Chains A and B, each alone.
Chain A
Amino acid sequence: MNGSDPSLGSLTATFALMSLFAIGGANAAVPEIHRIVVDVHHWLTDVQFADAYAIAQLSPGPNVLIVTLIGYHVAGIAGAMVATLAMCGPTAVLAYVVSRMLGRASRSQWPAIIQAALVPLSIGLMCASGLILATTSDRTIGAALVTAAAAVLAAATRLNPLWLLIAGGILGFAGVV
């Protein structure tokens, strides 16, 4: 990317393609978003990527909003809009078409078979997302402990995730991580 400004076209192409491989939702696509955005295009640093993920989690709305933040970082407000629409558009059209077809089709066993195959893949992708983000954010023992505590609390209780995120912010502000 010899230093040239990444264009809106590049954002569109990147995220439109990405959306079609985001099996299991936006969080499953985090490793690929990280690979393309940090390693291939150098649009963001590791730390900026981790920050974008944190801000997206702190905001209300679908997890896909990490893409809006990346788009803004690359090309301002236009970039935010373009990246968001590129990430949502193609699969929204696909979902519309498939739901129309299935509405009329007879009861096929294929959707169940495809789903049974894709669920483990999407869980594997989410765990990979966790690992990739952890390698950039958990650089101290304190940080790793905060991550572990959040994982245990979220898995074992029905606490609203927002409280955990806020607690993490306070711990970070206090210099624990």
Chain B
Amino acid sequence: MAFHAPASVADSPAPRVPRPQLGELFVAFAKMSLAGFGGVLMWARRGIVEKHRWMTADEFNDTFALCHFLPGPNIVNLSVVFGARIRGIPGALAAFTGLVAPPVLIVTILAALYARYGEIDALRRTLAGVTCVAVGLLFAVGFKMMLPLLRKRDPVAVLLLVAVFVAIGVLRLPLPAVLSVMAPLGIAASYLIRRRRAP
């Protein structure tokens, strides 16, 4: 998933289909969000690239790469960046609200139910079972993301990965402290490796 500055997007601000109105943006992102159990990315791609043809696959990859390397919830960042490209700040707000507001409403209702009935034994057992699976899903995502690094036999990347895992998962150190050491180290290492490969 290489990152390219999205020059092609900037050069041709008009997508290949008519630019969606704010209401359309809101509805499209609300639909993607409500379809997304266990992750919205797949549905965002399907909606933006395949269904509405608001972006090509390459443009989508570039935009997602940007949102992935910035901190914060990736898909939320994507909605803002995409909405802004289509219709400026109002577009960003429409996409963001569509993505976040309907699920927040649902989750708030679930939170209220949990606050009221969370102590019931059958619900406790059920949620415990769901948690076990959710943790398994998390390991599976980590494993799938790790595969390309293992295939490339990139020792620096694997070392960074293991160091962060131990520091955060085993030693339970604070994230800001760990990242303020590991992020500069990682960036320096990947810069040096690139310079050595392509002088």
* Interfacial residues, chain A to chain B (CB-CB below 8 A): 17, 19-27, 29, 31-32, 35, 39, 48, 50-51, 53-65, 68-69, 72-73, 77, 80-81, 84, 87-88, 90-92, 94-96, 98-100, 102-109, 111-134, 137-138, 143-144, 146-155, 160-162, 164-165, 167-173, 175-177
B153 to chain A, nearest CB (A): 13
List residues of chain B with CB within 8 A of the CB of A176.
129
B66 partner, pick from A99, A120, A133, beta carbons under 8 A? A99
Q: Contact at B92–A72, with CB atoms within 8 Å? A: no
- Out of B114, B146, B187, B194, which one reaches A55, CB within 8 Å? B114
The answer to whether A59 and B141 touch across the interface, beta carbons within 8 angstroms, is no
Cβ-closest chain B residue relative to A133: B135
Q: Do A57 and B38 touch (CB < 8 A)?
A: yes
Binding-face segment, B19-27, B28-36, B48-56 = B28-36
Cβ-neighbour of A128 out of B9, B132, B168 (below 8 A): B168
Contact flag A115-B3 (CB < 8 Å), given A126-B142, A129-B138, A151-B140: yes
A88 close to B168 (CB less than 8 A): no
Q: Which residues of B contact A22 (CB under 8 A)?
A: 71-73
Question: In this complex, what residue of A is CB-closest to B149?
Answer: A120
Chain B residues lying within 8 Å of A105, measured Cβ to Cβ, are 5
How far is A64 from B1 in the complex, measured between Cα atoms in Å? 23
B33 close to A88 (CB less than 8 A): no
**Given known contacts A61-B34, A94-B70, A169-B127, is B5 in contact with A106 (CB within 8 Å)?**
yes
Which of A21, A73, A116 makes the CB contact (< 8 A) with B115? A73
> Do B108 and A72 have beta carbons less than 8 Å apart?
yes
Question: How would you classify the secondary structure of chain A's contact residues: helix, strand, loop or mixed?
Answer: helix
List 19 additional A-B contacts (Cβ < 8 Å) besides A25-B74, A73-B111, A117-B189. Answer: A23-B183, A26-B73, A31-B175, A48-B118, A55-B114, A61-B34, A61-B106, A73-B115, A88-B96, A91-B72, A98-B66, A103-B9, A105-B5, A119-B157, A120-B157, A123-B146, A137-B135, A143-B128, A173-B125
Residue in A26, A62, A128, A132 whose Cβ sees the most chain B Cβ within 10 Å: A62
How far is A129 from B137 in the complex, measured between Cα atoms in Å? 11
Chain B residues in 8 Å Cβ range of A164: 133, 136-137
Nearest B residue to A87 via CB reads B73
B75 at the interface (CB under 8 A from A): yes
Contact indicator B71/A91 (Cβ below 8 Å):
yes
* A124 x B108 contact (CB < 8 A): no
Which chain B residues (67-99) contact chain A, with CB distance < 8 Å?
67-77, 80-81, 84-85, 89, 92, 96, 99
